[in-house]
Amino acid sequence: MDSIIQKITEWLKEMLVDAIMGNLSGLFDSVNNQVGEIASDVGMTPANFSPGVFAMVRNISENVIIPIAGLILTFIACYELIQMIIDHNNLANFETWIFFKWVFKTFVAVMLITNTFNITMAVFDVAQHVVNASAGIISADTAVDASALEAMEDTLNAMELGPLLGLFLQSLIVQITMSALSVVIFVIVYGRMVEIYLMTSLAPIPFSTFGNREQSQVGQNYLRSLFALGFQGFLIMICVGIYAVLIQSVAFSDDIIASIWGVMGYTVLLCFTLFKTGSLAKSVFSAH
């Protein structure tokens, strides 16, 4: 009777060890893959990230938004001309040179609208250079190597049935959580790029306000927002670098479950800091 119970116990232990190893081996794959792709994703310009989406956004902007921006520019140019004329003591000190000044300002405003996408892409080209330069310095290797997993298996084989069952349940919960966190990382990285496409689609409207000093605050804030979105990628790379250093410091010792929960804690911290990169970049560039 004792031998039967012992064989059943050994069979359950073997099954639990295999199940736990299966959970552990695939535990970090989704997050590691997602983190490994962050450097390449945030280092792309909008044109390179999805050429099809970029072409659609540019086509809509040039055919739908630019005519509206032209109407706004016309209104602002007329308002600017009237303001420039009456500024000199209601025509008492009228000078003809103000018309040349008005023509020059209007010409510059028209050139800004017609070259809107060239200017916006220049902003993201600068940000791409910074991100790619930082990617070569920051180590993003967060994978758990095979030797650590083999050491875990030896530790698991020496454990009793009860602790193995508890470890299996905890590893299952952590695996589900880590899969959810990988989705969160995906949403943050791709959500930033969608926000960039939305911002660039309306670019001609804020660019049309540069013809007037008062209204140009709209265009200046828009440019600051573009720089904030571009350099958000650099802040994301810093978060990934910190995560990589922290994850490599985790020691997968005899206390396996503590190590697993520690890795998950660092991953939750990564998601939280990724969420904060957008607001932090906007605060640095005074964009709102």
The tens digit of pLDDT for each residue in 93-121 reads 667 777 787 888 888 888 888 888 888 88
Instruction: Give residue 140's pLDDT.
Output: 46
Asked if 149 contacts 21 with a C-beta cutoff of 8 angstroms, the reply is yes
pLDDT in tens, 195-234: 999 999 998 999 888 877 778 888 889 999 999 988 998 8
Angle 29-42/116-135 helices, nearest 10 degrees?
Answer: 130
How many Cα atoms within 13 Å fall on the side-chain side of residue 281?
24
Q: Which of 246, 244, 232, 212 is nearest to 276 (CA)?
A: 232
Asked if 246 contacts 140 with a C-beta cutoff of 8 angstroms, the reply is no
The residue ranking higher by pLDDT, 187 or 21, is: 187
The pTM for the full model equals 0.79
User: What's the rounded Cα separation, in Å, for the pair 253 and 222?
Assistant: 51
User: What's the rounded Cα separation, in Å, for the pair 164 and 166?
Assistant: 5
Q: Which of 160, 162, 155 is nearest to 255 (CA)?
A: 155
User: What's the rounded Cα separation, in Å, for the pair 122 and 43?
Assistant: 14
Residue 137 has a CB neighbour count (10 Å cut-off) of 8
- What is the mean pLDDT of the segment spanning 175-188? 80
User: Which range is least confidently modeled, 60-69, 142-151, 238-247?
Assistant: 142-151
pLDDT of 131 > 70? The answer is yes
The residue type found at 84 is: M
